[in-house]
Structure 1
Amino acid sequence: MAATTDHPDAPAGRRPLHRAFVASLAGTSLEWYDFAIYSAASALVFGDLFFPSGDPLTGTLLAFSTYAVGYLARPLGGFVFGRLGDVIGRKRVLAATLLLIGVATLLIGLLPTYSTIGVAAPALLVLLRFAQGVGVGGEWGGAVLLSSEFADSRSRGLWASAAQVGPPLGNLMANGVLALLGAVLSEEQFLSWGWRVAFLLSAVLVIFGLWIRAELEETPVFKAMEAEDVRPERPIREVFATQRRALTAAILSRIAPDVLYAMFTVFVLTYATQELGMERGQALVAVLVGSSLQVFLIPLAGALSDRVNRRALYLGGAVCAGVWPFVFFPMIDGGGQLPLVLGVVVGLVIHSVMYGPQAAFVAEQFTPRLRYTGSSLAYTLAGVVGGALAPLLFTALLARFGGWYALAGYIAVTAVLTVTGLLVGRDAAHDEDALVVEDGARPDGTRTAP
């Protein structure tokens, strides 16, 4: 008898689902704490400590270059861990990704600066950032499947959004720790050793995450694939051979959310402090308020996508993403904190409308036997085009043109790309059984007759 991803609403059936939701949320939150603490430090301290330069903007640009390395490393994590996730299972791979990024973050907290060991400092920083990126590259696809493959197709948007809450929650924790350290320490203390505390806390968080994931079962979909012996032998080759439309749609659909998130959680710190003359704490408050709201808005948007057309909701968010920067920059031009907070909040609300349904939308593009590989590749390749380049391009455009028009235009272009991807992609309409693909695999892991 064919296994199915649908589960009854009985308590026994819901318990593994709830456990998977918590594990997915906890793991991605902890990993994104690690990733976000680096992002915030790139904007605030790494330019001075690892890339000393007479021009603050140049130092920041070099620091954002190492930020980009984390995104450039993600495809390697997607290739390696995505393939393993479809071959050996979701659970074991997710433990490895969590451990990898946690150890890398801990070592960054212990790393000597440029003034101590010279050029070896930025070189080691880049290497550790690369390791972080590899871990995150293999994390997202598995975290999405961890919760969504315990859910039925009618509630997949909500349950898959567990992995999507991880970035704002991790970002909230990271910026909260940095804001607290900045408040209780002097500028000299923060630059000397205070920033390291945030990185060293990663060790405690990773231990907690590993404990949570150790209690998990493997997903029903992967169990069915094992039982029916339909696990792919060459999942990467199969994705590029049979899932090209799905991969293209998933990659394009992710670009605008990545760029918008980079603007309103990373680059906005640089813009507010260097262009508007605001204090670092004022800028961090805006990001903290927006991120705290996203913790609730993202699952709300995911649940809403189960009740309305998922693609249409996502499409509306993408259109708003292209328009909002043209309102945001003139609004904050005076340098007041209230307009900045309001602008960042609205930007992250728009991001939530896209990001909540995103996990389910991307997963539904691929057949389940190739879903870890396909989702991971889409996530990581889009990250290179979107998230990796965004802070660098924002900084370079600001330096070149000296105004916000180029920044807003760049975001608008990425919104057009995402709209294109959404129109190209399949509209699953909550009926996964309709996704019979070229290789004959059913969504439940079994195969159709030739």
Structure 2
Amino acid sequence: MSLPDTSVPTGSSPAEVPPVEQRVPKHRIITASLVGTTIEFYDFYVYATAAVAVFPALFFTGQDDTTKLLASMATFAAAFFGRPLGSVVFGHFGDRIGRKATLVGALLTMGLATFLIGLLPTYHQISFWAPALLTILRFAQGMGLGGEWSGAALLASEYSEPGKRARAAMWPQLGAPIGFILANGFVLLLTTWMNFDSTKDAAATDSAFLIWGWRVPFLFSVLMVALGLYVRVRLEETPVFKQSVQKGEKVKTPLVDAFRTAWKPMLLGTFIMLSCYVLFYLMTAWILSYGIGKPSKGAGLGIPYHTFLQVQLVSVLFFAAFVPVSGWLADRFGRRRQQLVTNVLILVFGLSFGLFMAPATIGTGAGANIPGLIIFISIGMAIMGLSFGSMSAFLPELFPTNVRYTGSGIAYNVASILGAAITPYIAVSLNAWGGVSAVGWYLAGAAVITMIALLISRETRDVDLASINSDAS
């Protein structure tokens, strides 16, 4: 099968490529990059929510709550091991045939896996096949997201105006908080309507929510995928990729070339993204398990599931608000400086866990200090926005055009293994061992590692994305 013709008209030079505004409406670029990542993160968060409150009861055996939660978190982690593979597979096609077609494939992979999870029988119906199939589909979710993020980031950044690249590239980053709001808001409505209380009904498998209600958000994703496909098939290829094709810079084996010519940016990019991931999944997946967990031995706060979802929905608004702030600061002061200051904030925030989040301080059950909890988590989410917002400009800028999809995807998704896949699991174990302050020290350590990587790297704000040369260190 021949590859699609992505070249510019014969006789034209890169300088003659029509301005972006004349070729593709800006709102279409924004919508295509935002809608796709919103759907992908919606699918991801729906699973994260179910992994805490649903899957331990329906897909795993054993009487010990912590053991079942850890087993469920292990399937949650399976997606992160699929993400690097997704970045390699989709990165290959993204650097070979273009960004547009590859983004459609990534969206279909994620959407189909999520839909099928909503149809899975439980352990009580098919025994060990249930958690096995759940893990396989979770891995497929990871592959889809592994190909989605870097493509969406490249779509936004390669269409951007000079001097405004971080602000343009922040649009796909907004998909994370919007997807979170849609997923958790949907689950909140269902649990409220069905009167599901995690502190009482977690083991009551005759609850309507545990019988069929939890499936609805997974099945609903098929409608969102249809919307995303409609938006993306109307796109054109990015001008930067077209120029690369015209100049004959396209490579036959992007993965091989990425490791040959851009191994150092991949290594640095992985650790630059590390603390962002650790903070991300502490503030979304682990914090939910901690909030609704039983307060015995300090393992949790014993807050009802729907109450804690409301806390998260309020706090995630700060995540969304600070994503564009991050893009503006990165354009104004540079990516490296903006990320260094943000990681100092992450370090301080991590060291404060024991002071503000311990059960003895924040309270448990009906006596929990909900306003204090909202303030603390909102601060974490605001810092998350500052960290995550400019990454969609920073990481792609580390790589040349002909391996940019592959290189940025690998860096982003290998970081997901080190900073996200094992984070909820480690945090549950650390909390059981040394309390919530130990979890904070884990976050602080990740911030130190990221700061070292940032100090080694160079500023990328003024990098020419059309160049095949890259020296990020």
Give the TM-score normalised by the residue count of structure 1: 0.93
6, 20, 30: which one aligns with 2:29: 20
Alpha-carbon separation, structure 2, partners of 1:137 and 1:179? 27
377, 380, 386: which one aligns with 2:410: 377
Q: How does 1:237-276 map to 2 (within 5 A)?
A: 237-274=256-293, 275-276=300-301
Q: How does 1:137-176 map to 2 (within 5 A)?
A: 137-176=146-185
Alpha-carbon separation, structure 2, partners of 1:295 and 1:4? 36
Alpha-carbon separation, structure 1, partners of 2:397 and 2:341? 19
* C-alpha contact 1:5 1:149 (8 A) present in aligned 2: no
User: Which amino acid letter does the alignment assign opposite residue 93 of structure 1?
Assistant: T
Alpha-carbon separation, structure 1, partners of 2:381 and 2:16? 32
Over 3 Å counting, the alpha-carbon distance change for 1:8 and 1:229 in structure 2 is: closer
Runs of 4+ in 1 over 4 A off after TM superposition: 4-9, 433-436
User: Which amino acid letter does the alignment assign opposite residue 22 of structure 2?
Assistant: A
- TM-fit CA distance, 1:436: 6.4
Does residue 342 of structure 2 align to residue 342 of structure 1?
no
* Residue matched to 2:78: 69
Deviations 1:284-343 (A, max 9, x none): 112111222322321221122112222111111111111113324422332311111111
Over 3 Å counting, the alpha-carbon distance change for 1:430 and 1:70 in structure 2 is: same
Matched residues, number: 436
Does residue 462 of structure 2 align to residue 419 of structure 1?
no
Alpha-carbon separation, structure 1, partners of 2:252 and 2:440? 44
* Residue matched to 2:213: 194
* C-alpha contact 1:153 1:432 (8 A) present in aligned 2: no
User: Which amino acid letter does the alignment assign opposite residue 327 of structure 1?
Assistant: S
* Residue matched to 1:393: 426
330, 352, 375: which one aligns with 1:305: 330
* Residue matched to 1:295: 320
* C-alpha contact 2:83 2:144 (8 A) present in aligned 1: yes
The unaligned stretches of length 5 or more in structure 1 are 440-450
Alpha-carbon separation, structure 2, partners of 1:390 and 1:40? 15
203, 213, 222: which one aligns with 2:232: 213
User: Which amino acid letter does the alignment assign opposite residue 326 of structure 1?
Assistant: L
SS for the counterpart of 1:324 is helix
User: Which amino acid letter does the alignment assign opposite residue 327 of structure 2?
Assistant: G
Over 3 Å counting, the alpha-carbon distance change for 1:411 and 1:171 in structure 2 is: same
* C-alpha contact 2:400 2:465 (8 A) present in aligned 1: no
* Residue matched to 1:444: none
SS for the counterpart of 2:273 is helix
- TM-fit CA distance, 1:62: 0.5
* Residue matched to 1:82: 91
Deviations 1:333-389 (A, max 9, x none): 323111111111100111111111111111111111111011111111110111101
Alpha-carbon separation, structure 1, partners of 2:355 and 2:75? 30
* C-alpha contact 2:41 2:180 (8 A) present in aligned 1: yes
Give the TM-score normalised by the residue count of structure 2: 0.89
Q: Percent identity?
A: 38
Alpha-carbon separation, structure 2, partners of 1:368 and 1:234? 14
The unaligned stretches of length 5 or more in structure 2 are 1-11, 197-206, 294-299
